[in-house]
Amino acid sequence: MSVEEAIILFTDYLLLERGLSKNTIDSYRTDLEDFKIFIKKNNFELKKLDKKNILNYYDFLDKKQFSKSTLQRRYSSLNQFFKYLIKQKILQQNPMLSMKRMKKEFKLPKFLSFDEVKRLLSVNTCEDKKTLRNRIILELLYSTGMRVSELCSLPIKSVSFGKECNDNDYKFIIIKGKGQKERIVPLKKEIIPLLHKYMCISLVDKQKYLFQSNGKDKHITRRTVENIIKASALKAGIDPSKVSPHTMRHSFATHLLQKGLDIREIQELLGHSSIETTAIYAKINTKKTMEILKKYHPLGKYKK
């Protein structure tokens, strides 16, 4: 079997059996593209790959001067690829099995202060349909912590369970995350009347998505959401380079932790499969605590 055929089988498996999103599958495909180039360039066969070949592959990647985080992701994707091939009996053993796992590059996620978020959410004040949509997008990203991919493809039925615009229809939102796993996130009280108005004036018959578009996917794109956020940041006097859809998600989690919400509950709200992923926000809170201690400790400079 050629490496191209194996990659097609693997990405089909990610879509049909694991139910991963298009963006996630595209990321796997991109990660494996360099591996495909390396295999073909050296005329290697999948079944005959060994540890030495994989080490040579990482030498090949090093010459491309990727960041440590990109190399780590390439490692993870390739390992998942080989595990799948073994499961399908296409390979007998994983050539990466005895390799030392690459340490994940640790970076604290960027987030906005609570004051910055308030300013960002207050800029879209007009009553026209487009401005109302933009405000709801910002409110949903921050008040639910959903991923931008989840927001873009948010079905109407996950928000509204009836045809009439009344409070009982908008208590919470059902978000379908990675692996098609569903989670329930309560809606902020302030967003309910905005949703009432938007859904009453904007939705048409047989519309599937809350944020419909005329594009190929029939819903708003990630790029459109990014542009809305950056334009709003500019209006709010915030450096647009500081703000992205993921910044809103990080701000949501960080502020909840600072307010005392248990990290397990934040894990559920974010849809993280592992508590280790959510634990990064605890590190942010620790850093903030240290900064406060250094500034206000009665004995002067505080040392760890």
Residues serving a catalytic function are 147, 178, 246, 249, 272, 281
Question: Is the separation of the CB atoms in 257 and 282 below 8 Å?
Answer: yes
Query: DSSP assignment, residue 274?
Result: S
Cβ distance 175 to 146 under 8 Å? yes
The tally of CA atoms less than 13 A away on the side-chain side of residue 120 is 30
CA separation for the pair 91, 66 (Å, rounded) = 28
Q: Is the dihedral of CA 190, 194, 199, 200 positive or negative?
A: positive
State the DSSP H helix or E strand holding residue 173, giving kind and residue range, or none if neither.
Answer: strand 172-176
List the structure tokens of 15: 């879509």
Q: Are 172 and 185 in contact (CB under 8 A)?
A: yes
Q: Are 55 and 38 in contact (CB under 8 A)?
A: no
Phi, psi (degrees; rounded to nearest 5) at 210 = -65, -40
